[in-house]
Amino acid sequence: MGEFELIRHYFAAAPCAQVGEGVVQGIGDDCALLAVPAGEQLAISTDTLVAGVHFPDPCDPFLLGQRALAVAASDLAAMGATPIGFTLALTLPHAEPVWLEGFARGLNRMAQGCGLTLLGGDTTRGPLSLTLTVFGRVPAGQALTRKGAQPGELLCVGGPLGDGAAALPLVLGQQQEAPEIAAPLLARYWSPEPQLSLGLALRGKASAALDVSDGLLADCGHIATASGVALRVERDKLPLSSAVRALLDEAAAWQCALSGGDDYVLAFTLPAEHLSALQADGWPIQVIGRVEEGQGVQLVDRAGQAITPPARGYQHFGSGGD
Amino acid sequence: MGEFELIRHYFAAAPCAQVGEGVVQGIGDDCALLAVPAGEQLAISTDTLVAGVHFPDPCDPFLLGQRALAVAASDLAAMGATPIGFTLALTLPHAEPVWLEGFARGLNRMAQGCGLTLLGGDTTRGPLSLTLTVFGRVPAGQALTRKGAQPGELLCVGGPLGDGAAALPLVLGQQQEAPEIAAPLLARYWSPEPQLSLGLALRGKASAALDVSDGLLADCGHIATASGVALRVERDKLPLSSAVRALLDEAAAWQCALSGGDDYVLAFTLPAEHLSALQADGWPIQVIGRVEEGQGVQLVDRAGQAITPPARGYQHFGSGGD
């Protein structure tokens, strides 16, 4: 048995590969088989992470395993889908037991936290990269897409913005900070929590949703375009974590919140009548603006005056990466 | 818009991305959405192809697009699944229009031939590799797995064996041959035809099935292990194409047929009572052996004497690749 065949057996024996609900056939045949309950649809999303483009190389394999699955699962949260499972295509230069053991532990931990079963995949020799495809289920017609926002609704987010971008210099070792500042930001970067429960709570309530991965303004642009509306973002209402406030001045914090990426909190539009009940249930929802007639995204200050936003979007952490 | 964002728009506009049957949401949201008919299950398979490990680099992008999807779709054929769609995770060093145009044409052609809709994916910068995840549907309980073979049944294949391995020196430019010999082998290598229709015809008839990708003996070993039976393979019954017969002497042809890979024909076990009806319907089924009590795979000659098989399995085309 070759070393890569051994890796396949290793993953097949991992705790997260034990067949979960809805999984008829897991690892070990030509295909996995999923049972989708009558009246439900299957949600599917694929993400690739390349060493040196999407994560530093080398990095802690436990953290990489955790983060890779969290980033993929966040797309299920954004659709309001209940997690089922995932496939892992892992390409690596050579099979190193210590690396694999750490990676599998991180993957297991996030998989079990999210309720995702490892269904199969492929392990190949080559430059380090990972492609994860995640699967969830959602009642027909109840998926949260990007295209239902209506003028008059609220624009909301599910948590603080800017942590991902603020963490980046720490992740890359370009900046050192005291542990009480660095630790929460590094945790947010390496172990983002996909807002799966919030996604479920928003089913039938939010009119459009996505997860903030490219930066708030760029992602709001996706909702505005898909829904054929304008989104007005009030800069002073952006929720910032205490770690970001401690690390950065106000202008830099806003820039991270508006144009950084990797936050993986949900951004969504909501008819105002649903807000108080959701907040009363304890969901950490922050209103940051409003849906209007028109198109595009407008950033305004406290007085309602338009502000030219900082550079939009986010090209991952490497220069020129995609 | 960055060059990789442009690629995403390019694929979203491809003919094979036009929403097909069962596809509720294609490219353009956080997740794709599939409707799986009541009483059916979803079959899923993932394959990664790495440049220099699984295909020569450089190579014709049209042929690569065609082959990558065919290899993935072959796993749907092996389960007896009706194709629905696929995701494409494409990592490439830079966005080169001529390359992309060729690749997309090859992908489109195979997608339309197989009835597969491009549902989404990811495009990233990095060393050239592709991960395709394919989706199909199959009535609950009717998927062809590896584990139902019973002693007394026939062992069959759906077409000639050894073409993939015999083509390899031609693909790699290590050997030149007259076009009438080289052309059919190169065609089999670059454009294998996933036996999707045969897979459907075998539903409810074949007791175990897979597609021959690792080499016949290695793949028969998978059925034997999963089913808890022995498989007896009769060497002289192995179907060989006229191109393989023209290119190789008998011993080399058998070696390619037994231990080469990349044939992507179905191998399956079949209760004998189904054979004549399937052959009468025109399916190119060849009986190559029998299921017996026991374990493992035994190769025998015309007289029924055991033969020591050549080296098993197949480590892709590169040395030490996986």
Residues 6+ apart with CB under 8 A from A116: A16, A20, A69, A73, A83, A84, A85, A86, A110, A134
pLDDT reading at A254 higher than 90: yes
| Average pLDDT score over residue span A156-179 | 94
Same domain, A92 and A50: yes
pLDDT reading at B65 higher than 60: yes
Tell me the pLDDT tens digit for each residue of A49-62.
Answer: 999 999 999 999 99
| Average pLDDT score over residue span A182-191 | 94
Residue B246 CB-density burial (10 A; 0-12 exposed, 13-18 middle, 19+ buried)? middle
pLDDT reading at A6 higher than 90: no
Of B34, B76, B136, the CB nearest to A41: B34
Q: How many CB pairs under 8 A join A and B?
A: 212
Looking at the DSSP bridge assignments, the partners of residue B151 are none
Q: Does the annotation place B314 within a ligand binding site? A: yes
pLDDT reading at B312 higher than 60: no
Same domain, A168 and A299: yes
Q: Does the annotation place A314 within a ligand binding site? A: yes
pLDDT reading at A200 higher than 90: yes
CA distance B150 to chain A (A): 18
CA pair distance B89, A68, nearest whole angstrom: 15
Same domain, A125 and A8: yes
Closest residue in B to A135 (Cα–Cα):
B31
Cβ distance B25 to A50 less than 8 Å, yes or no, reads no
CA pair distance A168, A174, nearest whole angstrom: 9
Confidence of residue B8 (pLDDT cuts 50, 70, 90): confident
Q: Does the annotation place B322 within a ligand binding site? A: no
Same domain, B29 and B94: yes
Q: What element of type H or E holds B66?
A: helix B61-79
Of B31, B38, B127, the CB nearest to A126: B127
Three-state secondary structure of chain A: CCHHHHHHHHHHCCHHHCCCCCEEECCCCCCEEEECCCCEEEEEEEEEEEECCCECCCCCHHHHHHHHHHHHHHHHHHHCCEEEEEEEEEEECCCCHHHHHHHHHHHHHHHHHHCCEEEEEEEEECCCEEEEEEEEEEECCCCCCCCCCCCCCEEEECCCCCHHHHHHHHHCCCCCCCHHHHHHHHHHHHCCCCCHHHHHHHCCCCCEEEECCCCHHHHHHHHHHHHCCEEEEEHHHCCCCHHHHHHCCHHHHHHHHHHCCCCCCEEEEECHHHHHHHHHCCCCCEEEEEEECCCEEEEECCCCCEECCCCCCCCCCCCCCC
Of B41, B126, B210, the CB nearest to A129: B126
Q: Which residues of A touch B147 (CB under 8 A)?
A: 29
Same domain, B163 and B270: yes
Percent of chain B having pLDDT more than 70?
96
Cβ distance A44 to B32 less than 8 Å, yes or no, reads yes
Mean pLDDT of chain A: 93
Q: What confidence score (pLDDT) does residue B311 get? A: 63
A1 touches chain B (CB under 8 A): no
Looking at the DSSP bridge assignments, the partners of residue B92 are B125
Cβ distance A35 to B41 less than 8 Å, yes or no, reads yes
Determine contact, residues A257/A163, Cβ cutoff 8 Å: no
Same domain, B117 and B158: no
Residue B178 covered by a domain: yes
Cα–Cα distances in Å, from B210 out to B79, B215, B220? Answer: 7, 11, 9
B136 touches chain A (CB under 8 A): yes
Q: What confidence score (pLDDT) does residue B314 get? A: 44
Q: B163-171 and B250-259 are packed helices; what angle lies between their axes, rounded to 10 degrees? A: 100
Residue A146 covered by a domain: no
pLDDT reading at B319 higher than 60: no
Q: Which residue has the tokens 């025109």?
A: B282
Cβ distance A89 to B91 less than 8 Å, yes or no, reads no
Cβ distance B79 to A2 less than 8 Å, yes or no, reads no
DSSP string spanning B241-267?
-HHHHHHS-HHHHHHHHHH------EE
Residues within 8 A of A (CB atoms), B 242-281 only: none
Nearest residue to A269 via CA among A190, A318, A202: A202
Residue A175 covered by a domain: yes
Q: What confidence score (pLDDT) does residue A103 get? A: 96
Same domain, A83 and A202: no
Confidence of residue B313 (pLDDT cuts 50, 70, 90): very low
Cβ distance B33 to A53 less than 8 Å, yes or no, reads no
Confidence of residue A123 (pLDDT cuts 50, 70, 90): very high
Q: Which residues of A touch B53 (CB under 8 A)?
A: 124-126
Same domain, A133 and A202: no
Domain hosting A265: range is 154-307
CA pair distance A238, A258, nearest whole angstrom: 8
Q: What confidence score (pLDDT) does residue A19 get? A: 79
Cβ distance B29 to A145 less than 8 Å, yes or no, reads yes
Longest dimension (CA), chain A: 68
If phi > 0 it is left, if psi is from -120 to 50 it is alpha, else beta; for residue B39 that is: left
Same domain, B189 and B58: no
| Average pLDDT score over residue span B202-224 | 96
| Average pLDDT score over residue span A228-242 | 97
pLDDT reading at A155 higher than 60: yes
Tokens of B58: 């450089």
Residues within 8 A of B (CB atoms), A 194-223 only: 209-211
Looking at the DSSP bridge assignments, the partners of residue A300 are A234, A306
Confidence of residue B130 (pLDDT cuts 50, 70, 90): very high
Confidence of residue A314 (pLDDT cuts 50, 70, 90): very low
Cα–Cα distances in Å, from A9 out to A14, A28, A40, A191, A218? Answer: 9, 9, 32, 26, 41
CATH number where A128 lies? 3.30.1330.10
Cβ distance A89 to B48 less than 8 Å, yes or no, reads yes
Percent of chain B having pLDDT more than 90?
85
Residue A251 covered by a domain: yes
Determine contact, residues B144/B199, Cβ cutoff 8 Å: yes
CA distance B9 to chain A (A): 13
Same domain, A35 and A171: no
B116 touches chain A (CB under 8 A): no
Q: What is the ipTM of this complex?
A: 0.92
pLDDT reading at A315 higher than 70: no
Residues within 8 A of A (CB atoms), B 138-177 only: 138, 140, 143, 145-147
CA distance A127 to chain B (A): 7
Q: What confidence score (pLDDT) does residue A321 get? A: 41
Q: What confidence score (pLDDT) does residue A95 get? A: 87
A87 touches chain B (CB under 8 A): yes
Same domain, B72 and B203: no
The total domain count for chain B is 2
A118 touches chain B (CB under 8 A): no
Residue A148 covered by a domain: no
Closest residue in A to B40 (Cα–Cα):
A35
CA distance A75 to chain B (A): 5
* Residue that terminates a domain, selected from A106, A139, A172: A139
| Average pLDDT score over residue span B88-95 | 94
Q: What confidence score (pLDDT) does residue A1 get? A: 59
Q: Does the annotation place A54 within a ligand binding site? A: yes
CA pair distance A292, A149, nearest whole angstrom: 9
Tell me the pLDDT tens digit for each residue of B260-303.
Answer: 888 999 999 999 999 999 999 999 999 999 999 999 999 999 99
Of B3, B126, B146, the CB nearest to A29: B146
A24 touches chain B (CB under 8 A): yes
Mean pLDDT of chain B: 93
Residue A64 covered by a domain: yes
* Residue that terminates a domain, selected from A113, A139, A165: A139
Residue B291 covered by a domain: yes
* Residue that terminates a domain, selected from B95, B114, B139: B139
Q: What element of type H or E holds B72?
A: helix B61-79
Same domain, A63 and A171: no
User: Among the listed ranges A153-162, A229-238, B2-11, B208-217, which one has the minimum average pLDDT value?
Assistant: B2-11
CA distance B111 to chain A (A): 18
Q: Which residues of B touch A28 (CB under 8 A)?
A: 146, 226
CA distance A103 to chain B (A): 19
Chosen from B6, B31, B74, B100 to mutate, greatest number of chain A CBs within 10 A: B31
pLDDT reading at A4 higher than 90: no
CATH number where B225 lies? 3.90.650.10
Cβ distance A322 to B91 less than 8 Å, yes or no, reads no
Residue A144 covered by a domain: no
